[in-house]
């Protein structure tokens, strides 16, 4: 499966964006999907994930209450709704998916996701 992240852009502090992770084939609901971000000069970090089968969701502490991950199975797309954006959210956001990994609170951020897409740049101005 090929993944394409989109929806990034320039937004002011406090603004909102919705990122999309679209799959090249149907059936993305059978995959666990995660969003990652990498800010300039920093390591890549996991932001959020949604589990296959259960649709349980997971978030990094810094985005809890501001970001929401969701699925549109008909469109084979996973969204990351980002509200109350802060300058520290500025990064290249990318998505990854895996049809086999079972993600839990203990492993969602460090699990291996086989399929990875290109990123989309989010810039939050102060």
pLDDT tens-digit readout, 13-47: 999 999 999 999 999 999 999 999 999 999 999 99
- Residue 54 has a pLDDT of 87
- Residue 53 has a pLDDT of 87
Using alpha carbons, select from 69, 11, 76, 66 the residue that is nearest to residue 36: 69
Question: Which two tokens mark 95?
Answer: 């998505």
DSSP 14: T
């Amino acid at each position: 499966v090929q993944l394409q992240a989109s929806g990034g852009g320039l937004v002011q502090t406090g603004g909102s964006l919705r990122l999309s992770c679209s799959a090249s084939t149907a059936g993305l609901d059978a995959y666990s999907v995660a969003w990652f971000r990498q800010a300039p000069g920093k390591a890549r970090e996991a932001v959020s994930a949604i589990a296959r089968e259960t649709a349980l969701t997971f978030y990094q502490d810094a985005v809890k209450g501001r970001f929401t991950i969701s699925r549109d199975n008909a469109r084979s797309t996973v969204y990351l709704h980002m509200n109350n954006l802060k300058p520290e959210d500025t990064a290249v956001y990318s998505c990854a998916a895996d049809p086999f990994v079972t993600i839990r609170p203990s492993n969602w951020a460090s699990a291996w996701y086989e399929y990875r897409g290109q990123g989309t740049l989010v810039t939050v101005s102060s």
